[in-house]
Amino acid sequence: MFATKQIRIVAAALAVALASGGIAAAVATNAWASPTSAQVSKSAAMANGPKLSATRFDLNGYQIDAAYTLGRNTGNTFRQTYTHSMVQGVPIAGPFVGAHFPPEDYVALPIGPHELYIAWLDPSPTASFPIVDAFVMDFVHHIVYDYAPGSDHPESVGTVTIHQVGDNRIP
């Protein structure tokens, strides 16, 4: 019985010590770890998300090289040459060198800092697949994601580099 009473006393003392330590930590946290106004405004901006826009980006003058290491286009590198409204893709390395592809219309939309979504569109009114190719290009990390509809495995991933800079800076 004496041992049981000692265990209860030690347990009660331990509970009081933990509770007072927790209260002290909470008081210190509230007093010293309050967010600054800059942190609050930054977190508010993050909560609101990026600025949304559907403004097209003009890639006129750009030559962009996409070298694929995964997916359908593995081993191929294509140079994409852009005008105000059209793009010409030419294989410059890999098994597709020598193949000829028609010029396509395109739409480019900024989707993040130094990131573009680009859709190539078949200009023919009778096209079975109006979207010929779709890309997400991340120019900070040099990654290209490519989706070419019309096949069983249309996905490709690789690296993207700007061979020639165009008229407008990529946002």
Please count the structural domains in the chain.
Answer: 2
In this predicted structure, what is the pLDDT of residue 125? 86
On whether the CB atoms of residues 57 and 171 are closer than 8 A, the answer is yes
Q: Is 136 or 37 the better-scoring residue by pLDDT?
A: 136
Give the whole-angstrom CA distance, residue 149 versus residue 129.
Answer: 7
**With bands split at pLDDT 50, 70 and 90, how would you rate the model's confidence at 127?**
confident
**pLDDT above 60 (res 133):** yes
Of residues 108, 49, 55, 54, the one with CA closest to residue 80: 108
Q: Give a yes or no: residue 72 inside a domain.
A: yes
Asked if the structure places residue 57 within a domain, the reply is: no
Q: Place 70 in a pLDDT band, splitting at 50, 70 and 90.
A: very high
What is the rounded average pLDDT of the residues 102-128? 94
Residue 34 falls within a domain, yes or no?
yes
- pTM over cut 0.85: no
Q: What mean pLDDT comes out for the span 97-123?
A: 96
> Both 97 and 141 in a single domain?
yes
In-domain check, residue 94: yes
Range with the poorest average pLDDT among 44-58, 63-77, 100-114: 44-58
Residue 102 resides in a domain: yes
pLDDT at 45 over 50: no
Same domain, 37 and 91: no
The model's pLDDT over 16-25, given as tens digits with 9 standing for 90+, comes to: 444 444 444 4
Domain, as residue range, for 32: 2-48
Residues 73 and 138 in one domain: yes
Indicate whether 149 pLDDT > 90. Answer: no
Residues 10 and 69 in one domain: no
Whether residue 98 sits in one domain with residue 30 = no
| Dist. CA 162–CA 103, nearest whole Å | 19
Q: Which amino acid is at 30?
A: N
